[in-house]
Each structure stands twice: as structure tokens, then as C-alpha cells.
Amino acid sequence: MKRILIIALAFIFLQHSNAGIIKVVTTTTDMKSIAEMIGGSKVSVTSIATGYQNPHFVDPKPSYIIRLSGADLFITTGLDLETGWSPQLLTSSRNSKIQKGSQGYVDASEGISLLQVPSSVNRAAGDIHIFGNPHYWLDPLNGKVIARNIANGLERIDPSNKTFYEANLQTFFARINTKMKEWQAKMSPFKGSKIIAYHNEWVYFEKRFGLEIVDFMEPKPGIPPSPSQLVKVIREVQANKIQVIISSPYFTTSSSAVVAKQTGAKQLTMATSVGAFNSIKNYFDLFDYDIDQLIAMLK
Ligand SMILES: [Zn+2]
């Protein structure tokens, strides 16, 4: 009897201690990491996609809908990144607090200077970047825009803690500024290095750190490498003496391996999101990892 009472009291305590915690659901782990840094002790954050999953293609599961139905804040990368799965999950959750246009809906892409915005929207060719390149979190300075949007969302639904969120936001900005100097210094000897990428998801990273991506293994974003594309890439690698072909954890390496074998270029799997590899615990680790891996290959 005594034991039952203790368990019951512990349960009530746990429920109570969880009260007031804002439940945040993000589409990706990068948004989760930034939301945790801004929300601190006031939030509990979960991400639908893992860091080693292709964010364009996530299989919707009933458990995601349940999670969304209890969320206070929803954060999406936006654009065309999660179009195939996230809007459907959101509708199915029937949670009016987090629907598009509601207080608890955050589109993290708001205010991002988008790259590669097409002049006309055409999904017919299989292109999955119809609103511009959606992989913008791979520029650390865009991390600041994301953080600002997340702070705005938290302050909308929890205005009494505005000072707390603003302070965390300033800490985040300062940390980005410090790390940015370190990352730029590491990358500066490799300015202008030419590389090949599997999917067109590195343009923000490329621009920020002065790389030159000559071509992609995919002939169009979302379209698997074709034999003619492989021939084209092999010629480009040879003509430009390209050393590295970068890919992501969720793509098969077989086509890149063909190019590598033909040309002597090396393959490198980079991380596109937090959690892509065990050592990448947060948004800062992501760039530490990618930059260290890349410069080791370019040396
Ligand atoms: Zn993409």
C-alpha cells in the first residue's frame, strides 16, 4: 500500500514538474538543436526526422501525428524540403495551435536570402527545389536567422519568458560569431577548391566558405545519377583535377565510387544535419565535423 502511494506521488510530481514546459516538435534535428539552445530549460524538443535521414523523403508514421497533436510549437525548415510529408502530418494532427498561420507555427526560412530561386516553378522535371535551394541551414550565418525565427515563435506563445529567450538568442549569436572566425580561418587556405557533390544541398556552405561545386552526381535534385551524368562528371573531374566527391549519409556511394575509380578522386560523406554521426550533438558540432573532414581531404 505504502509503495503504491509512493509511486502515485512520484507520478503526480513528475506530471507537475513537466507542467509549463513547452512541447516543441521540429521537422529536422538542426531546428531541434537551435530550438534547444534558445528555449533552454523552458522547452522539451523532439525532431521528426533523424540526422541521417534524407529530409526530402520521410515516411509518415502514426507516432509523429500523436506527437504533433500534443505540441505547443511546430518548427519547419520550410520551402520545398519537407513538402512530401510534413504538411500532411500537420493536418492529420488536428492541432489548431500549430497549423500554418497559427501562433505555434514557425517557418524557419522566413528572412533567409535564398539561393537558386528558379524563374519558373516546375515540378514536372522531377526537381524538388522549386522554391529555391532549401538547404540553407548549412551556412552558419543562416543559423542566426533560424534562431531569430524560433525565438519569435517561443515569445509569441510564451511572452512571459521573452527576456530569457532573448538572452539565449544573444548567447547563440555570440557563439556563432566566435566559431565563424575559427571556421573561416580553417577554410581560407582552401578557397576556390573545386569539388563534386551528390545532391545540390551544399550551395550555402559553398558560398560561405569559398568552395566551387562544379557539378552534381544527380542530374537534377532528387533524380538519381544517370549513366550520361556519370560520363559528364568523370570528364569534369579530370578536366578540373577535382580531388573530392562529397555525399551525405543517406545516398548510396556506388555511383560516386565509379567516378572515384575512374579518376582517382576521393569520396567523402559529409554531415548535412545534427546527429548524422554520433559525434555531432549540436549545430556547432555539425560545422566542426564537416570542416575538419573536408580540409583533411583537400590537404
Ligand atoms: Zn535538396
pLDDT, one tens digit per residue, over 14-30 is 554 566 899 999 999 99
Residue 299 confidence (pLDDT)? 87
| Residue showing cell 573530392 | 244
pLDDT digit string (tens) for 27-72?
Answer: 999 999 999 999 999 999 999 999 999 999 999 999 999 999 999 9
- Residue-wise pLDDT tens digits, 96-108: 999 999 999 999 9
Give the pLDDT of residue 129. 85
Q: Is the pLDDT of residue 274 over 90?
A: yes
Ramachandran angles phi, psi of 116, nearest 5°: 55, 45
| CA 297/CA 173 separation, integer angstroms | 30
Q: Which residues contact 92 (CB under 8 A, 6 or more apart)?
A: 60, 65, 68
The count of other CB atoms within 10 Å of the CB of residue 5 is 9
Compute, in angstroms, the gap from residue 134 CA to the centroid of ligand 1: 6
pLDDT in tens, 176-202: 999 999 999 999 999 999 999 999 999
At 142, list the grid cell.
543562416
Note the pLDDT of residue 135: 96
Q: What is the pTM of this model?
A: 0.92
Q: How far is the CA of 85 from the centre of ligand 1 (A)?
A: 14
Return the closest-CA partner of residue 284 out of 206, 171, 210, 176.
176
Whether residue 245 contacts residue 265, with contact meaning beta carbons closer than 8 Å, is answered with yes
What average pLDDT score do residues 247-272 get?
94
Q: How far is the CA of 201 from the centre of ligand 1 (A)?
A: 5
CA dihedral 293, 214, 119, 134 (to 10 degrees): -10
CA 29 to ligand 1 centroid distance, Å: 16
For residue 126, is pLDDT > 90? Answer: no
Q: Which three cell numbers stand for residue 215?
A: 557539378
Mean pLDDT of the chain: 93
The CA distances from residue 81 to 2, 3, 127, 221, in Å, are 53, 50, 11, 11
What's residue 19's pLDDT?
A: 66
Distances from the Cα of 59 to the Cαs of 24, 46, 53, 64, 182, in angstroms? 20, 17, 10, 10, 38
Q: How far is the CA of 132 from the centre of ligand 1 (A)?
A: 10
Place 8 in a pLDDT band, splitting at 50, 70 and 90.
low
pLDDT tops 90 at residue 245: yes
Residue 154 has pLDDT above 80, yes or no: yes
Q: Mean pLDDT, to the nearest integer, of 152-156?
A: 98
Alpha helices in 188-226 (DSSP H): 203-209
| DSSP at 41 | G
> What is the CA(146)–ligand 1 centre distance, in A?
18
Residue 188 Cα to ligand 1 midpoint, Å, equals: 26
Query: For position 120, what pLDDT does the model report?
Result: 76
Beta carbons of 149 and 110 less than 8 angstroms apart: yes
